[in-house]
Amino acid sequence: MTKTASAKRKRAEREALKESERATKRTKSGDPEDLYDKKLFVEKSAGADRVREARLYELLGSEDSDERVAAAETVIASLLDGDGVPEDVLKRHLDWRLFRGLASGRAGARLGYSLVITEILRQLFGGDALGASRYPGLTFDKVLDILHERTKPTGHMTGQEERDFYFGKLFGLDCFVRAGFMDDDLDKWDNILQQLLDLADKKVWLRSHCGWVVMQAVPKLKADVVASIIQKLKAAKWTKTPEGVGIWLAALETHPELDGQGVENPLDPKVLPNLPAILKDSVSGEEAEEESAAKTKKKTANWSHQLHFVWPYLLGYYVSKGAVTDFVAFWRRAVDDNLFIKSASDGQKLRGFVVLQTLLMHPLEGNESTLESFLPHIFSKNLMTCLMNQAASEGRYLHRAACATLRTVAQAAQRSPEFTSIIIENLTTNNGVYNFDVRTGAKTIETVLQRIKPEAADDVVGVLSAPVIKSCTTGKDMDKVKVELRAYVEYLFKMATAAPEAALQELTSLAYAPPIWVPENASEFVKDLSRNRLQSAFANLSKKAEDTTYLCTAIEAISPDYIQMDAKLKKAVADARKKLKALLQTASAKPAADGASDEMNVAKGLSLLYAIAIFQLYNAEPDALQLLDDLRDYQSRMKTDEDEAAEFLIEILLSMVSQDSVLLRQISQQVFGCFSSRVTSKALELLLDVLSADENAKGQQSLFDIENDDVDLEDFEEEDDEDEDDEDDEDDDVEEINVDDDSELEIDSDVEFVTLNAADDTSEEKEGEDGSDADSEDEAAEDEDAEEAKNLEAIDDALGKILNSHRLDKDADASDSDADMTDSEMLALDEKLSAVFKDRIKTKPSKKKERKAAKESVINFKRRVLSLLDIYIRSEAGSPVAIAALLPLVQLIRTTTVKSLSDRSLELTKEYQKQLKKARAANKKQKKTVKVDAEATLQLLKDIHAEAAASEMNDHAKAAAAASLIVGSTLFIADKASRPAVEAEFAKLERKPEKKGRKSNKKKKAGDIDMAMDWKNWRQNYEATKRQ
């Protein structure tokens, strides 16, 4: 058939396919309904038959394996089922469809077509012998000739097209091998083997693929056939090639009797020294460079992420044998001293990394103990040096490969608890370094520790502590010892989340009773660091509600005998531990009555507070005793007045939230969640008052009970100008002097120091002008002035000693000297004066920084209160008490200068709507009614409407609209008598309609939301739902 005829045939198939798509009924997948019918192909296909045939072969090249397999089964059945198709038809399909399709560039074409060809060859020349009985014209040689003809590059082809043809031939030869009909036929095998050798010799980048085909076939062949193959490979000089090594090993594994009969073991100790040179240039076929010259046919490129097949085979061989000694010798020669030496190329080092990854992720399949025995030996010296160096610098060529290898190491450590301790030990000791993560810049050990299995934790603690104990007992460099101690504490902290029991026990020991191996001059350092990380670990545990009980248990497990305390503290700790134990029993008991669950929540919250109070006592924090007193006071108030107790608890939680402690903030949120159902309107008001505080020093004063005398009233006025842009770098009212360079601060020696009490003079003038303000100063202010006077007097005395002078208002006996100072004396004097003024300037605080700090403290406090409100809204949105939070949230959006606070308030308002909808659905299901204070709720609705008119911001309007709808609907549902009043309030918001024929000239504002229309829509939905 000519190329012209072939082109016409293709064009006819395409036209028939298009016509059939228009006329034929389609299934959901778009294929004809009879596509997968097992009916034979016709000799001269046309119309629907041609469409079906074309579609099947198209699916045969699909990237979807299911589609390929289904199409392959149908094609095979359509060719060979029953009496089969005529020989001409089968020959046409083999010639123009199947073998030709092997040269296709489509991703799945070779795989799909190979399935069909392999099965056809098996039935033609295998047990069924259809070639002899039914298709005598399709002999072995004839079919092989068809393969050669259809996979032979011709004409002017691009490199990729030529590559496709050669790969097609390789897949075709592989079909002959996998068909299995040549296992006993040496002549046919020799023919196919010669074709593979010729192909490997012609295209060097196909050599590994050709070797793989032969190696896969060896286990199925008889010994005499294998021996013949080996002799032919020897003649082709494949003995000292990576492919030859793999084939030789496969032959000896299947037929060990061949050892010494012309088949040498490449892993024999006598020839093992030759193996590194063979494996050094082992690359996969896709990365080998094609060389046309005969001299360079064996030369290959060495950059490849795809590992040569001989490496996985070798590694699997050693793992299956379990011979550790032999493996150690192999690894040292073939990997460490071969691929990771200094003279190795980057490509060879890359191959070494891939070899390591392959071994670490080798399928276990009962080989856990073997791999466990191999692990200590694979982290060899040269490998670890190269791995750490490449991972540490992003500029190195193999940085990404090294990081990928470290990720594989971390994954391997998580495969089995036995692997974890061994891998960590080899990364931190032997050829690694204790600060491995710092050295490499990766987070390998951190990742392993954060996902460690609890059963491996004790072994890992032992592994991590051993190097530190050695350094502490034998090391002389205290700085190095402290570095390792810090790393050890950090490792324990990373473990605390996944394996808290072992990690917290060790941290507790270091924090309160350091082991004897810790040097005395590092004991306090270890205590402080461990206590800090212990507190952080508790904070992480407290984030999860299910871990809070464990947190209490962990703190209870800390023995007070470790800590030095006086008699008063010991008694307080003992009493608190007794109460904590009793509360934990109550919190863990099963609820026996309806109200028992609430009691359990209260016990859980109190146990957290007692646990934190005990922990603070252990750390000698000043507020610990006060917290215990407050808890006792709270419990006594609960017995008499629960409302008052709720307010007192909120005060306790606010005092905890205001502190710069993540642990206290997390605990306060957990405790608040336990007590949220007991929050009263007055208790909630304590939280909401924080949101209305000014975001400046005045607001800080009101929130934190700062004395009036500690705040300059003039600051309030200045803050009003700076709130809009607190990053403004304008000059402060006090000029800052740069004293970092002594040379810039110069004072002439002839200046007469009459007085340095200019501040005193200024304040005296001010007192004369504003006598009424001076009369109002209290004793604390007088003490402060006296202290300031003492400081100035001290400066005067220091300058007097330096200058050998005195103030004019002091009658001191001083001898005048008219002698001039030398230059060196003047320089020395300048240095002393500079030091005095440096101290003076450093001690004078910056008002701008104070104002900024005050603003940040108020903003942070508001953020934490919003977090508490979030907890409250999510659990108590259906409570009538909760609606009091809406107006402060809306007002905060308008008054705050911080966008994050505004966004958070809007989110909470929207969250309220979601939770309220769920609460109403639950109440309706349980037939519960909610009672509200009608008068107060109606007034709240009016206040929200007034607040909505106070700003035109879009977020403010959205929040106000949501709040209005929540309050209005709540009152509308709960109190029928108030419905007219609610309707009247929303009627006031209705907009006047525009006159007909006129267009409004008013532009729609950003915050222009029709709240009245929203109310009408809600009411209509409510009425419709009620009628259902």
Residue 822: its pLDDT value, please?
66
Structure-token pair, residue 569: 């503290």
Separation between Cα atoms, residue 788 and residue 845, nearest integer Å:
13
Sign for the pseudo-dihedral over CA of 255, 259, 264, 267: positive
CB 489 within 8 A of CB 504: no
Residue 1: its pLDDT value, please?
45
Separation between Cα atoms, residue 784 and residue 700, nearest integer Å:
21
Separation between Cα atoms, residue 54 and residue 118, nearest integer Å:
20
CA atoms within 13 Å, Cβ hemisphere of 39 = 11
Separation between Cα atoms, residue 425 and residue 434, nearest integer Å:
9
Separation between Cα atoms, residue 773 and residue 767, nearest integer Å:
8
DSSP conformational letter for 332: I
> To which residue do tokens 């010669």 refer?
194
Domain ranges of the chain: 1-178, 182-253, 267-289+300-418, 452-540, 543-678, 849-991+1006-1027
> To which residue do tokens 């003076």 refer?
840
Q: Which of 545, 576, 541 shows the shortest CA–CA distance to 558? A: 576
Return the amino acid letter for 83: D
Structure-token pair, residue 860: 């942070």
CA atoms within 13 Å, Cβ hemisphere of 244 = 20
Condensed to tens digits (0 to 9), the pLDDT of residues 30-71 reads 565 568 888 888 888 788 888 888 999 999 989 899 999 999
Separation between Cα atoms, residue 803 and residue 565, nearest integer Å:
52
Q: Which of 78, 152, 164 shows the shortest CA–CA distance to 119? A: 78
CB 335 within 8 A of CB 377: no
Structure-token pair, residue 659: 């502190």
Q: Is 259 helix (H, G, I), strand (E, B) or coil?
A: strand
Sign for the pseudo-dihedral over CA of 357, 361, 363, 367: positive
Rg (CA), the chain: 43
Structure-token pair, residue 42: 């016709």
Separation between Cα atoms, residue 101 and residue 172, nearest integer Å:
10
Separation between Cα atoms, residue 454 and residue 675, nearest integer Å:
33
Sign for the pseudo-dihedral over CA of 369, 374, 376, 378: negative
**C-alpha of 769 from chain center:** 64
Structure-token pair, residue 556: 């209870």
Q: Is 750 helix (H, G, I), strand (E, B) or coil?
A: coil
Q: How far is CA 868 from CA 203, 349, 654, 682, 946, in A?
A: 71, 55, 10, 15, 27
Pick out the chain residues at pLDDT < 70. 1-34, 261-262, 281-304, 364-367, 545-547, 590-596, 706-833, 836-846, 992-1008, 1028
Residue 123: its pLDDT value, please?
92
Q: How far is CA 991 from CA 246, 987, 1008, 1013, in A?
A: 87, 9, 11, 9
Residue 599: its pLDDT value, please?
85
Query: Does an H or E element contain 290, and which?
Result: none
Sign for the pseudo-dihedral over CA of 691, 695, 699, 705: positive
Distance from the first to the final alpha carbon of the chain: 77
Structure-token pair, residue 667: 């605990």
Separation between Cα atoms, residue 889 and residue 883, nearest integer Å:
10
CB 445 within 8 A of CB 428: yes
Residue 301: its pLDDT value, please?
42
Contacts 24+ apart (CB under 8 A), 838-846: 838/739, 838/745, 840/795, 841/737, 841/739, 842/739, 843/791, 844/734, 846/732, 846/734, 846/736
Q: Which of 877, 866, 947 shows the shortest CA–CA distance to 907? A: 866
Q: Is 136 helix (H, G, I), strand (E, B) or coil?
A: coil
CB 518 within 8 A of CB 511: no
Separation between Cα atoms, residue 599 and residue 408, nearest integer Å:
49
Q: Is 26 helix (H, G, I), strand (E, B) or coil?
A: strand
Burial of 947 (0-12, 13-18, 19+ CB in 10 A): buried
| Angle subtended by helix axes 548-557 and 567-588, to nearest 10 | 150
pTM: 0.74
> To which residue do tokens 């007055």 refer?
682
Burial 15-51 (b: 16+ CB within 10 A, else e): ebbeebeeebeeeeeebbeebbeeebbeeebeeebbb
Query: Does an H or E element contain 827, and which?
Result: helix 823-843
Burial of 261 (0-12, 13-18, 19+ CB in 10 A): exposed
Residue 475: its pLDDT value, please?
80
Separation between Cα atoms, residue 696 and residue 693, nearest integer Å:
9
Q: Is 100 helix (H, G, I), strand (E, B) or coil?
A: helix
Count the helices and strands in the chain (H runs, E runs).
48, 0
